Chain A
């Protein structure tokens, strides 16, 4: 096995990196791939709670890097998906506890044993980001259709190119189709035109994401939510499948339908 290392990053915080990492990992593992996630957000550990594995942590990433445990000992196996593992971040240290070359070495050890190594990057453009991107084969940038998230995504895309890790692939997360229809949210096309990189997924805003995180169950595991479906499609595209982009349904209601009717000059569709 020669596993691929995928880094999920964004620049801005709170756009859904950890949610995306957990869901893409769970989707790949459901498809029978062997997956390990690394939480690279040292000091602000979160991937463990999103995956529902917080009670099983003994050792963490920094313990592995500093040789206090073997790599195997720091990998938590998900009981629901036996092909899914997590290496949690240390909570009481900071980003300087790990260097980019530590991460490259760690991923070189993981590659022969896994199909996928997914790295959940911290927000920001400093050391933590460089650690997360250093070993990466594929970089996925997450953004929201909102001015500050798009601006930060553009900055991070530039840095990824400068590190010769590009071209990055884009996920637009938390899209509200009704608002897009009304002209009150940037559309996928708008964001793609501004950032000029390839799209790998668009994920609608979905309350199931929050209820899933309350329970520690990524939405892809419930098998029916829209966001879960979108994350599943991203996993399949990473895996090389041609998956058509899911049309985000119009939820504009009567007003949306009426204004569309006007825009079309009185014709339906």
Chain B
């Protein structure tokens, strides 16, 4: 119902929700001493290492930090490309 109303009234997310979302990210970086830009660098390196062994789609790779209690987890989602069989003859 509230989602429906939100869409109906073109409401932007309220300021408390914005605060919470911003804080989620800030706390992850504070706790791990990992500046926001480092995740991108890590992603590029991961892609280059993994591509040496299997074929992946670099654009589909997603790396994110999640929070469980006060513990941080680095989640990497790396879809593999299907093997293209070469036709002979």
Contact = CB atoms under 8 A, between A and B. Distances in A.
Interface in A178-227: 180, 182-187, 190, 193-197
Contact of A190 (B5, B16, B30): B16
Interface of B: 1-2, 5, 14-17, 19-20, 22-24, 26-27, 30-31, 67, 69-70
Contacts, number: 54
B70 A196 contact: yes
A151 B30 contact: yes
Contact of A262 (B5, B20, B26): B5
Contact of A194 (B1, B15, B27): B27
A240 interface: no
B70 to A, nearest CB: 5
Contacts of B15: 183-184
Interface of A: 146-147, 150-151, 154-155, 157-158, 161, 180, 182-187, 190, 193-197, 262-265
Given A194-B24, A196-B70, A183 B14 contact: yes
Contacts of B23: 147, 150-151, 186, 194
A151 B27 contact: yes
A164 to B, nearest CB: 14
Top 6 A-B residue pairs of the complex, sorted by shortest distance between their CB atoms: A183-B14, A265-B1, A196-B69, A196-B70, A190-B20, A183-B16
A180 B14 CA distance: 11
A186 B27 contact: no
Contacts of B5: 262-263
A186 B1 contact: no
Nearest to B17: A183
